[in-house]
């Protein structure tokens, strides 16, 4: 009786294996894929390439440069298009920022730059706090924190005034919350705070707040359309300043990203482009500009 049971079990198992065993290459592939997708649940798949590069137009994206990568960036903004034909629609004027970014780890990058606009030096760090992922560990967004310090070195026209070093300093803190919704569409929200030690008028606030929204839509595999808009909170903005709006294209040319854009902001660090923009799109105060970057891999790291 006991033996019969065992035989029955044995026959049953045998029968079962015959059923699950593959009959032809397609079946064995399906069986393999089933096993792999079973294991997949225990893996975490991190989202990559939310944006093509570390900048959207003027501001940061959630992206970092890789570990050991040096990214040399040269950014140009020409003059206002509505300056007319005499100024060749703004092309006769230019402000620029030269800068370098470096990836210390996959989560931390640092950078510095110098803008001709008010002869400003800036330095920043970008720390990835959360990474969007699916699978075992699910995270809907990527979150980065970008603290920046900027030093304005342009000479004060009022030479009688005592100028302290600290009055030339600006501090900004930015949180970037981004999500890649699909292969082509990504959006991010950027709450930004800037503290300036010295303001022009007593009634002007020292602390400035803005909320930014930006995104990209891929048009082809190598070209994407970007936009970036910063809304300054009414009680935390300087008078006669407008909100920064930029629209641009990322064009990837064999490893390097070339960015072309239209913006109403001549500045290229957080304080100047978000809180010191005076031009209005409606009046045609639009500037043409571009960012070019050249990437050098310095640290040789095998786990790219």
What's the DSSP call for residue 240? T
Choose between 82 and 134: whose C-beta lies nearer to other proteins.
134
**Binding to other proteins (CB under 8 A): which residues in 218-257?**
221-222, 252-255
Residue (196 or 259) nearer to other proteins, CB: 259
Our finding on whether 34 is near other proteins (CB under 8 A) is no
Q: Rounded CA gap, 280 and 105, in Å?
A: 40
Instruction: Kindly state whether residue 100 participates in binding other proteins, applying the rule CB under 8 A.
Output: no
**Of 210, 217, 132, which Cα lies nearest the Cα of 178?**
132
42 binds other proteins (CB under 8 A): no
Cβ neighbours, 10 Å, residue 201: 7
Q: Determine the interface stretch with other proteins among 4-12, 72-80, 138-146, 185-193 (rule: CB under 8 A).
A: 4-12
Tell me if residue 13 falls in helix, strand or coil.
Answer: helix
- The interface region with other proteins, picked from 9-17, 138-146, 224-232, 240-248 by CB under 8 A, is 9-17
**Cβ atoms < 10 Å from Cβ of 296:** 11
Q: Does 211 bind other proteins (CB under 8 A)?
A: no
C-beta of 166 vs 304, nearer to other proteins: 304
Residue closer to other proteins, measured from CB, 109 or 245: 109
Residue 9 touches other proteins, criterion: CB under 8 A: yes
- Is residue 28 a contact point for other proteins (CB under 8 A)? yes
The token duo for 159 is 């030479």
Output 10 or 129, the one with its CB closest to other proteins: 10
Q: Which of 72, 127, 177, 295 binds other proteins (CB under 8 A)?
A: 295
Q: Which of residues 168-207 bind other proteins (CB under 8 A)?
A: 183
User: b/e per residue, 232-257, with b = 16+ CB within 10 A?
Assistant: beeeebbeeebbbbbbbbbbeeeeeb
Q: Which of 25, 85, 157, 234 binds other proteins (CB under 8 A)?
A: 25
Long-range CB pairs of 157-164, under 8 A, 24+ apart, other chains included: 164/198
Question: What string of H, E and C letters represents the secondary structure of 17-73?
Answer: HHHHCCCCHHHHHHHHHHHHHHHHCCCEEECCCCCCCCECCCCECCCCCCCCEEEEE
The C-alpha atoms of residue 53 and residue 257 are separated, in whole angstroms, by 7
Binding site for other proteins (CB under 8 A): 6, 9-10, 13-14, 17, 20-26, 28-29, 31-33, 35-36, 45, 48-49, 65-67, 69, 103, 183, 221-222, 252-255, 295, 297, 302-304
């Amino acid at each position: 009786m006991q033996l019969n049971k065992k035989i029955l079990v044995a026959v049953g198992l045998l029968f079962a294996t015959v059923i699950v065993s593959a009959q032809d290459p397609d079946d064995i592939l399906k069986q393999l894929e089933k096993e792999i997708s079973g294991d997949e649940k225990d893996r975490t798949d991190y989202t990559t390439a939310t944006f093509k590069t570390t900048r959207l137009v003027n501001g940061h994206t959630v992206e970092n440069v890789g570990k050991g990568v040096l990214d040399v960036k040269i950014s140009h903004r020409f003059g206002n298009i509505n300056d007319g034909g005499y100024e060749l629609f703004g092309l006769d004027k230019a402000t620029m920022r030269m800068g370098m970014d470096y990836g210390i780890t996959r989560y931390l990058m640092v950078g510095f730059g110098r803008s001709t606009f008010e002869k400003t030096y800036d330095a920043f760090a970008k720390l990835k706090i959360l990474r969007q992922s699916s699978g075992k560990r699910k995270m809907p967004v990527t979150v980065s924190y970008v603290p920046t310090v900027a030093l304005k070195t342009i000479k004060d026209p009022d030479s009688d005034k005592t100028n302290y070093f600290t009055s030339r300093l600006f501090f900004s803190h930015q949180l970037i919350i981004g999500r890649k919704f699909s292969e082509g569409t990504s959006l991010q929200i950027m709450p930004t705070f800037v503290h300036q030690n010295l303001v022009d008028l007593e009634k002007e606030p020292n602390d400035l707040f803005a909320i930014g929204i930006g995104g990209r839509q891929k048009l082809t595999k190598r070209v994407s359309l970007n936009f970036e808009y910063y809304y300054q909170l009414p009680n935390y903005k300087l008078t006669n300043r407008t909100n920064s709006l930029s629209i641009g294209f990322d064009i990837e040319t064999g490893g390097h990203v070339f960015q072309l854009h239209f913006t109403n902001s001549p500045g290229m660090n957080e304080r100047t482009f978000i809180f010191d923009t005076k031009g209005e799109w409606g009046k045609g105060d639009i500037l043409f500009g571009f960012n070019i970057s050249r990437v050098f891999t310095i640290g040789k790291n095998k786990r790219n």
